[in-house]
Structures are given as C-alpha cells and as structure tokens.
Amino acid sequence: MISVHVQQLSCMLRPRRILEIGTFTGFSALCLAEGLPEDGRLYTLELRPDDAATAAGYFARSPLGSQITLLTGDARTIVPTLPESWDLVFIDADKTGYVDYYEMVLPQLRSGGFILADNVLFHGEVLADEVKGKNAKAIAAFNAHVMQDERTEKVLLTVRDGLLLIRKR
Ligand SMILES: C[S@@+](CC[C@H](N)C(=O)[O-])C[C@H]1O[C@@H](n2cnc3c(N)ncnc32)[C@H](O)[C@@H]1O
C-alpha cells in the first residue's frame, strides 16, 4: 500500500486531472484526490465490479467523492475513450499490462505531466540475476522499456515496493 506516498506527491504536484488505473477499494484514489484543486477531477478505473462497488461506497462517504469518477471495466478499453489531458497518472493494475498502460496514456499526458508506476521493485525480484515469474518479468520489462524512452525523464523512489516517478518532456 503506497497511498501515503502518492498522497504526498499529489499534494506537491497539484494536478487538475488525475487518472488512476487499478482502483481496488479506492484507498489510493482518495489519497491522490487530496492533491486536487476545487475544480480538479480524478478518474479511476477498476476491472472487477465487486471491487468497484466497494470503492463506490467509500467514495460516497468521502467529501472528495464528488471529484472522483469511477469507471468499471478494462482500462485498455476505457483509456482511449477518455477525452482528458492528464497531469498525473497512477499505474497500479495488473503488472503484465504496465507497458500497454504507459504507451496508452503517454500521448494523453500533458508535457511536464507525471506518471507514477507502483511495485517497480516487485519485492526485490527484479534485481535477481535471473528474473523469475510472470509478474516480476513483466515489471522488469516495463522498467527496461521506460528507462530507454527518451520522451520521458524518471527517478526511482525506493519507498515500499518501489515507485517510479516519470515526467513527460
Ligand atoms: C493493486 S490493486 C490497486 C490498489 C489501489 N490502487 C490502492 O493502492 O488502493 C490492482 C487493481 O487493479 C485492477 N485491475 C487489474 N487489471 C485491470 C485492468 N485491465 N483494468 C482496470 N483495472 C484492473 C484489479 O482488479 C485490482 O483491483
């Protein structure tokens, strides 16, 4: 759970439009929404209807809930339909989708905007000589993909399971 750190980063960056991929119970969405100005909005995408329903319950009970749009379904389908320019994107869904999500949101990210990608150390498994397991391999591939990308600048924050802070040039 990286939520305290993303809350601090959101409050520092003051984004007007936030996209979160992977809502789960909505905790990180509520933390990210702390950084929104009054006219700001956060979109959060969740594949599983049960988790989306849980999150919707928490959003309904929060004063920040009115600034949150929760959409249920596959982010791969939903993201291209969103007519927004993002200031901040938080990628925290299935690890095998990270490269797709990154490539999908980058054109919609404003110049100078940020992507935060969670779990980029994957319990330290990405540092092994031979990376094993589907998810660790997917994260290692994501890290390699982003590191060679000249469209962005990045810094690895070694908090919790690793948070990659990526800035679009
Ligand atoms: C690690 S949890 C998110 C945790 C949440 N961001 C937090 O910190 O409170 C990952 C979530 O992504 C969702 N997910 C997985 N694949 C997805 C997809 N293709 N589109 C949208 N959500 C997806 C899962 O159902 C799961 O609830």
pLDDT digits (tens, 9 = 90+) for 62-74: 999 999 999 999 9
What is residue 117's predicted lDDT score, i.e. its pLDDT?
98
Give Cα 166 distance to the centre of its chain: 11
Angle at 63 between CA 4 and CA 42, to 5 degrees: 65
pLDDT over 70, % of the chain: 99
Name the amino acid, one letter, at 111: S
Contact 79, 21 (CB under 8 A): yes
Number of other CB atoms surrounding residue 160 within 10 Å = 14
Cα of 53 from ligand 1 centre, angstroms: 13
From the CA of 165, how far away is ligand 1's center (Å)? Answer: 19
Count CB neighbours of 137 within 10 A.
17
Query: Whose CA is closest to 68, among 27, 105, 104, 109?
Result: 27
Pocket test for ligand 1, best of 5, 25, 47, 71 (most atoms within 8 A of CB): 47
Nearest CA to ligand 1 atom 10: 93
Give 85 Cα–ligand 1 centroid separation in angstroms: 21
Upper half-sphere CA count for residue 8 (Cβ side, 13 Å): 7
Q: Which pLDDT band holds residue 34 (cuts at 50, 70, 90)?
A: very high
Q: Tell me the C-alpha distance between 119 and 115, whole Å.
A: 13
Q: List all residues whose CB is within 6 A of at least one atom of ligand 1.
A: 1, 3, 21-22, 24-25, 27-28, 45-48, 51, 74-76, 92-94, 97
Q: Which fold has domain 3-168?
A: Rossmann fold (3.40.50)
Please report the pLDDT score of residue 142 as a whole number: 98
Q: What percent of the chain has pLDDT over 90?
A: 96
**59 contacts 30 by C-beta, under 8 angstroms:** yes
pLDDT at 84 over 90: no
pLDDT value, residue 1: 63
Model pTM greater than 0.75? yes
**What single string gives the DSSP state of each residue in 12-63?**
HH--SEEEEE--TTSHHHHHHHTT--TT-EEEEEES-HHHHHHHHHHHHTST
Q: How far is residue 140's CA from residue 153's CA, in Å, rounded to a whole number?
A: 18
Q: How far is the CA of 120 from the centre of ligand 1 (A)?
A: 15
